[in-house]
Structure 1
Amino acid sequence: MKKKSFIIVCIGLVIIIASGLYLNRKDRSSSHLFFKGDTSKVLPQDQDRKNTYIIGVSQLPMTMQPYLQLTEGSRVVNDLVFPSLAKKTKGDYQYQLAKSIVFQEDTHSARIKMDSNSFFSDGCKMTVEDVIYSFMFFNHSSIAYDNKAIYTCIKGMSEYQMGSSDVISGITKISDQEIQIDFIKKSWEMFQAFELPILHPQDHDYSVFDMRKTQLGSGAYKLDKHTLYQEIELIKNNYSHQSAPYKTIKVVPADLNQLESQNLDTMIINQTQLEEIKNLGSYQISQQGMKDQDFILFNLNNEEIADVQKRREMAESIDTKVLFKEAYETGQQSVGLLSGDKEAPNYLSLMKSKKHSLNKSIIFQFSYEGTQQSLYEALTKQLANVGVNVEGRKKPINTSTVEETDVSLYYYSGQIDTLLDNWDLSEFYFQLDGKSLLEAGDLLERYLTEQTYAIPLHYENYYIAHLCDKKDLGLLNDIY
């Protein structure tokens, strides 16, 4: 009996470990199934096609170095070939090549331990030298990288980017598997710094930074062929501990006609194409939330609204489900601040449901475009029930913030990341000291809800078609 129990436990552990290794990401498959599809309508495939996963993208990498760009095709390739230390998804972070990332010294620095099981496609084990090399490569003055501005949050990075220093003073090797990054100040950019693709020079020369050099990755796949503007072919990285569900992955230009012939396994489709894809029958359709969200923001320049208790009192009097229903015809309701579909804890789960009698008048600034007008009308009805009179004020053209101190609330559409450095996050950073990166997303969601700087409303969807009998790798999630 004990032997049988031991076997069951072992099997359970294998399942848990295997699930953690699946392309080194949790919840990879596309969420929010919109249309189920019919597997019986999938055409028979020969063995080669069964072992190949074909992704259609709007734009292939325009150079032989996909890691230097942020196009749809580049992001798909980087996810499979050149993973980073960590990656943000659905408002939280997940480790990729890092084993742990812990903030310390009042969060002005982060101590990073590498995953000792990460190997590049030439069999070399990942070390701190590869991480330091990657930061130096992408930020070198001779390298054209789309995302350089983010990394100026690291001490000494600006001097290195300008060529006045040969080293990055804020990056220190602790051991072969541990590194420390020191930041200039506590800002949200320091979290984005962990998403840099990690490279390994094939010639093992860490002193030369040349765009023509061949760089290797430690993902589940490696680059095999790259025909500019036509196709990228990836094959298994035999040294990777990550599961590679398909022998070959091809990234090609998206073409709706290729869905009709089932020559594509997945691609992003327009809303206008939904019925056409449904009629094909062989593809399931899922919907994914865009990163841009709609919010009602509190004007912190207003003396009364500057009081967090007043903000929270008003927020607790607003039913966002009703606002969403009355103002939006498409998309989904946001339940979280960091990500519209962030699982609990999120704004709705953290915000208490109370009603207060406020007995006052406020000004809501918005444009008179249809959706915003509907929001104003719904907001007016709701707050009237708790004694608040809402006056509308037209938003000035080409402005996203307000300076008028008499405005209490205003409409905003955009990414939460652009707002974070405008708010006082000092208490959040204090709480983060000694915490891991994996705890950061939930801590920030809770802090922002407590401070009530914003009320999430809505985000638009984009749609992903996926051939019914193929494994959904979720590679087009979090693109937009």
Structure 2
Amino acid sequence: MKKTRKIFIVALCAVIFALSLAACSKKNVNSNNSESSDEGSKNGQSSSVKDIVNIGVTDNLSSVNPLLMDGTEVVKYTTSLVFLPLVELNRNLEFEGMLAKEITTEDNRNFIIKLDENAVWSDGTPITADDVVFTFLLWASPEIGSTGMSIEKIEGTGDNGYVEPGADSVSGVVALDEHTVRITTKSEMALHTFQNIYGRYILILPKHVLKDVPRENLLSYDWFNAPTVVSGPYFIKDVDLNHYVTLEANDNYFKGEPKIKNLNIKVVTASQLLAQLKTGEIDLVQQTTGAILQEDYDSVRALDNITVYDGTPITHQSIFINTERITDVRVRQAILYGIDRETILKDLLKGRGEVVDGFLASAGPFYDESVVPTPYDPEKAAQLLKEAEADGWDKSTQYTFYVNSGDTTFTQIASFIAAKLGELGLNIKVNTVDISSLLSTAGSGEFDLLAVQYTYAPVDPYTDISWLLSKGGWTRYYNEQVANALDLTQKTGDINEIIKQYRIVTDHVQQEVPVISAYVISAIGAVNNRLKNAVPDVYGTFINVHEWELVNN
């Protein structure tokens, strides 16, 4: 998603993650981070320390436990600094090896993962196929009870994604040798989908450290708040999920000793970003984890100490409609016709972005430029509502519209949308909540409309769309033609055929409106000029974090 990446099928975990938050959010006290002021205490660092790089984020973290990945980009990127994925997407939308040298398939069912022979844990222990097999087993273990990550698509798991209690293996995950793993899926899966789900979002854990920990204890295991063995460039040293995560360099990082010894993930409000970029209290804002206010864009660009980077326009401000609660398609269509998206983009976002229907933005390889977005037509919306009312729709029904309180730009836009829809006869109540509560609400289905920034991976929209447009997804929507079209995207490498199938999906979304893309954001990232080799972008920002360097310090 953009903020969340979430974005991904791991949104299935929302309710469990919210319930687990208290167990996993214990603040650790570290003597190396003694506070010299109240402000320092809130930041998880001494305000006098100048060699710390502060990364500003505008969403709280739900956890730093990789087994509680919730689909938000802030959790994904923070935990990936500690435990590496197999691959990562770079800014050119190419999969780049992290623990894996390559992932290949010949039949879209058997996937061969070749690990980097140089990869080692911070204690010098080699990272092997056994670690990969162990990690996938943890995800599939009912004793742990994690959900999501499409584990149910792997051979040897049940429909719920679990193996039998006490199982010591998953039949579809096999170590072929010390550095090679074969993963077999139950049905065909495109290589780009496999790499995006399993390659990017399952972070490999150290078997030699965790194998003797009872599985039922792992979700609340304090060790993850300050792990002693890591594969990534940094150790977590101190955690306060509402305020910060402080990190210390792993000098034994196999890709190269980090030049920056201390990082701090600093949780702030969007309204604080401009001021703290100006003062140097924040060194970097990445497009999908830190939401610089639209009204602050020009001011951020004008800062002498900051370089601004325009992000690829792929993050949607998506409005999900619970089709089990708003059952009349004419009401959903009226909502779509009643939102003046072009005016919002032009006047409120100053043209920074685009308007599309469905899930695909123009930067993605499967975008169909012939799709014409549904126009703003309040007369059409009013007519549809009149027809629905004649057939028994109660116009006095109040619809709850949940919005991320951390996204202050859209909270204002949501009020504008609700007012305009109110003029048409729709009673919309905007309810702003924090991102964790928003995800919990989305998972429970206790909403009528719900908005969140959502980054549909351009190279793999299938993962998100197939779940969201399902009875178990946030929209509670299912259409057999849509499902069949999505399945066909996994069985062909012909890009024109894939575009054709996604066009079928888009057509149904336009007609039946389970989701509305309010706009696609072209967000900006920012970096302090004292920080070299760091280029914030939607993807790939942290791949070379060990090469970041402070100058003129």
Query: Residue 261 of structure 1 aligns to which amino acid in structure 2?
Result: T
Correspondence for 2:277 among 240, 255, 259: 259
Local SS of the residue matching 2:88 = strand
1:265 deviates by 0.3
2:80 partner SS = helix
Name the SS of the counterpart of 1:203 in structure 2: helix
Residue 462 of structure 1 deviates from its aligned partner by 2.8
1:225 is paired with a residue whose SS is: strand
**TM-score using structure 2 length:** 0.52
Q: Quote the offset at 1:112 in angstroms.
A: 1.1
Are 1:205 and 2:211 matched, yes or no? yes
Could you say which residue in structure 2 is the equivalent of 1:136? 137
Distance 1:273 1:326 in 2: 19
CA gap of 1:253–1:56, structure 2 versus 1, over 3 A, is same
Pairwise CA distance, 1:139: 3.5
Q: 1:118 to 1:475 in 2, by over 3 A?
A: farther
> Deviations for 1:28-57, whole angstroms, at most 9, x for unmatched residues?
xxxxxxxxxxxxxxxxxx9963x4321112
In structure 2, what is the Cα distance between the partners aligned to 1:127 and 1:461?
Answer: 40
* Unmatched tracts of structure 1, length 5 or more: 1-45, 295-323, 353-363, 377-391, 399-412, 433-442
1:422 to 468, 483, 488: 483
Distance 1:338 1:266 in 2: 28
Distance in 2 (CA, whole Å) between partners of 1:142 and 1:476 is: 38
Q: CA deviation at 1:181?
A: 0.7
State the secondary structure of the residue aligned to 2:81. helix
SS class of match (1:135): helix
Corresponding residue of 1:223 = 236
Q: CA deviation at 1:478?
A: 4.7
**Contact 2:251-2:257 at 8 Å conserved across structures:** no
Q: State the distance in 2 between where 1:475 and 1:171 align.
A: 35
Say whether the 8 Å CA contact 2:57–2:74 is kept in structure 1. Answer: yes
Give the 3-state SS of the residue equivalent to 2:95 in structure 1. Answer: strand
Tell me how far apart the structure 2 counterparts of residues 112 and 207 of structure 1 sit (CA, whole Å): 26
Counterpart-to-counterpart distance in 2, 1:275 and 1:128: 49
| 1:272 matched to 2:295 | yes
Q: How does 1:291-370 map to 2 (within 5 A)?
A: 291-292=315-316, 328-329=345-346, 330=349, 331-333=352-354, 340=361, 342=363, 347=367, 366=374
Q: One-letter code of the match for 1:225?
A: D
Q: Which moved more, 1:265-274 or 1:231-240?
A: 231-240
- For 1:217 and 1:274, the matched residues in 2 are separated by 37
SS at 2:483 equivalent:
coil
Distance 1:477 1:140 in 2: 33
Deviations 1:112-132 (A, max 9, x none): 111112111111111011111
Structure 2 partner of 1:240: 254
* 1:430-467 CA-partner distances (Å, limit 9, x unpaired): 545xxxxxxxxxx5x44323555459996223332321
| Mapping 1:112-191, distance limit 5 Å | 112-143=113-144, 145=146, 148=148, 150-158=150-158, 160=162, 163=165, 165-187=167-189, 190=194, 191=196
Query: Is 1:447 matched with 2:497?
Result: yes
Alignment check: 8 A CA contact 1:76 1:476 kept: no
Change (3 A) 1:373 1:251: same
Distance across 2 between alignment mates of 1:135 and 1:215: 21
Partner secondary structure for residue 54 of structure 2: strand
Equivalent-residue separation in structure 2 for 1:162 and 1:215 (angstroms): 30
Provide, for residues 226-248 of structure 1, a one-character-per-residue CA deviation record: whole Å limited to 9, x for no partner: 35544422313423224634222
1:270 and 1:462 in contact (8 A); partners too: no
Structure-to-structure mapping, 1:395-434, within 5 angstroms: 415=456, 416-417=461-462, 418-419=464-465, 422-424=483-485, 429-431=490-492
Alpha-carbon contact 1:266-1:466 (below 8 Å) kept: yes
Is the Cα–Cα contact under 8 Å of residues 154 and 185 in structure 2 kept in the other structure?
Answer: yes
Question: Offset of 1:92 from its aligned partner?
Answer: 4.4
Q: CA deviation at 1:59?
A: 3.5
1:83, 1:474 → 2: CA distance? 20
Match of 1:110 in 2: 111
The amino acid of 1:252's aligned partner reads K
- Classify 1:102/1:279 alpha carbon distance in 2 versus 1 (closer, same or farther; 3 Å): closer
Cα distance between partner residues in 1 of 2:534 and 2:100: 21
Is the 2:101–2:114 contact (alpha carbons within 8 Å) kept by the matching residues of 1? yes
Residue pair 1:284, 1:467 contacting (<8 A) in 2 also? yes
Task: Determine if the alignment matches structure 1 residue 100 to structure 2 residue 123.
Answer: no
Aligned counterparts of 1:170 and 1:293: Cα–Cα separation in 2: 37
**How high is the sequence identity, in percent, across the aligned residues?**
17
Q: Which moved more, 1:284-293 or 1:124-133?
A: 284-293
CA distances 1:180-214 after superposition (whole Å, capped 9, x unpaired): 11111224664512221111146363674342254
Whole-Å separation in 1 of the counterparts to 2:212 and 2:525: 40
